[in-house]
Structure 1
Amino acid sequence: MRSTPDALMLFAAGLGTRMKELTRTRPKPLIEVAGKPLLDHALDLAREGGASRIVANAHYLADQITAHLARSEVLVSDERDVVLETGGGLRKALPLLGPGPVFTLNTDAIWTGPNVISTLKAAWDGDRMSALLALVPREAAVGYSGAGDFSLALDGRISRGEGYVYTGAQILDPAGIETISDPVFSLNLLWNRMIAEGRAYGVIHRGGWCDVGRPECLPLAEGLLSDAAR
């Protein structure tokens, strides 16, 4: 079993309902930001961060996701029958990902600055951690309208609270995921266990981050990329 993660799960199965008309005929991961699909922005991060095995799940308009990835090295975990949410989707993909801790990465965000996969890899300590989440301070979260997801202690442990926003990138040890009886569930169930055990940690992303979950976030994401290029 590997202790340093090298497999990565891309979450690409969501319905994208907040994108309204933009996802009527195409899945959200194929919406373009600065001329490139969101899925490809995420793939660039994964590859540049050193992921050697990449798996993407697909549900809504899955044929488009599968066709887009057909000539790549990315394996597809087919969820056409039912969308399994993040936890169920990860559990189904584990035979493709292999044993041990894995990276997971959402496909609906834009990043600038240091590669978040490299940041997570450098901070990971499997002896102390079952989860390591990449966070940004609430005031640095572009396109985000909530109060935050987590509080961050001085020793790096996280708890439910405000102040820091989960960016959609993490390292997670899926041990115990098989004990969850429901086929459809969120990774929040695992996080809650790990927080209670004191084994859930956070690391701050020191670059830009934009949530791309709504149509009005698209120009914000393109502005972030333009600013970084300058």
Structure 2
Amino acid sequence: MRPLMIFAAGHGTRMRPLTDSLPKPLIPVAGRTLLDRALDLGRAAGAGPVVVNTHYLGPQIADHLAGQDVAISDEPETILDTGGGLRQALPLLGTGPVMTLNPDVVWTGPNPLAALDAAWRDDMDALLMLVPLDRAAARQGTGDFSRDAEGRIARRGDYVYGGAQIIRPDRLAEIPDRVFSLNRLWDLLIAEGRAFGIVHAGGWCDVGYPEAIPLAERMLHG
């Protein structure tokens, strides 16, 4: 089993007014919350332990998870961003490579976490699930990465980071800031040629703003 971190602490500002009184991970898409969809992927991939971080309207998420085998890493004072949040949660996740998942996307096709686990190799420090920009439903903006013939990634290109990865967290200790993005760690690993990507074979939709919800539901009902 591989540990899984689900990032659920953000304010969800792009989702307003839906997030004025509801944390974004608890927004339903096709009758199931985004957080539950993320947990479904983790359980189907055999992930464990599973940790969810919280900040904005965190008690609602804690209540939703009550009775489930999910640990909570609360960030009550300040959102620590993805890098700081992952580093704080490490005592709950254990040692070794960790899967992380953003809950504000919807997937169809192969389980992205299971696909990452199957493709992981010891020479990797990060393995990101990528989506071609022309298949990234509801994506706003340009691509994030390019990918060479061996799967190594570089900044800027026609692939979008899909919000799922496996990453070694050891070098988080090298970053002095308390609040920081995992982009900081990715840049270190990209420079050393130890960050890789694979391409998702199914559908993907960014559920980051209200108008994306019907797009995601149509994709799911496909």
Q: Which residue of 2 aligns with 1:80?
A: 76
3-state SS of the aligned residue for 2:69? coil
Q: TM-score, normalised by structure 2?
A: 0.99
Letter in 2 for 1:162: G
Structure 1 distance, partners of 2:151, 2:157, is 15
3-state SS of the aligned residue for 1:184? coil
Q: Which residue of 2 aligns with 1:39?
A: 35
Structure 1 distance, partners of 2:76, 2:162, is 26
Q: Identify which of 188, 200, 222 aligns with 2:195.
A: 200
Deviations 1:24-48, CA, capped at 9 Å, x for gaps? 0010000000011100000000000
1:145 deviates by 2.1
Structure 2 residue 177 is matched with structure 1 residue 187: no
Q: Identify which of 200, 216, 223 aligns with 2:218.
A: 223
Letter in 2 for 1:212: V
Deviations 1:39-87, CA, capped at 9 Å, x for gaps? 0000000000110210000000000010101110000001111100000
Letter in 2 for 1:132: L
Structure 2 distance, partners of 1:46, 1:214, is 24
% identical aligned pairs: 58
Q: Which residue of 1 aligns with 2:54?
A: 58
Q: Which runs of 5+ in 1 are unaligned?
A: none
Letter in 2 for 1:106: N
Structure 2 distance, partners of 1:170, 1:210, is 16
Q: Which residue of 2 aligns with 1:211?
A: 206
Deviations 1:131-157, CA, capped at 9 Å, x for gaps? 000001110100102220000101100
3-state SS of the aligned residue for 1:176? helix
Q: Identify which of 137, 145, 148 aligns with 1:142.
A: 137
Deviations 1:203-227, CA, capped at 9 Å, x for gaps? 1110000000001100000001000
1:192 deviates by 0.1
Q: Identify which of 11, 16, 29 aligns with 1:15.
A: 11
Letter in 1 for 2:95: P
3-state SS of the aligned residue for 2:166? strand
Q: Which residue of 2 aligns with 1:100?
A: 96
1:20 deviates by 1.0
Q: CA RMSD in A?
A: 0.7
Q: TM-score, normalised by structure 1?
A: 0.95
Structure 2 residue 112 is matched with structure 1 residue 129: no
Q: Identify which of 159, 166, 172 aligns with 1:171.
A: 166
Q: Identify which of 86, 91, 105 aligns with 1:90.
A: 86
Letter in 2 for 1:99: T
Structure 2 residue 158 is matched with structure 1 residue 160: no
Q: Which runs of 5+ in 2 are unaligned?
A: none
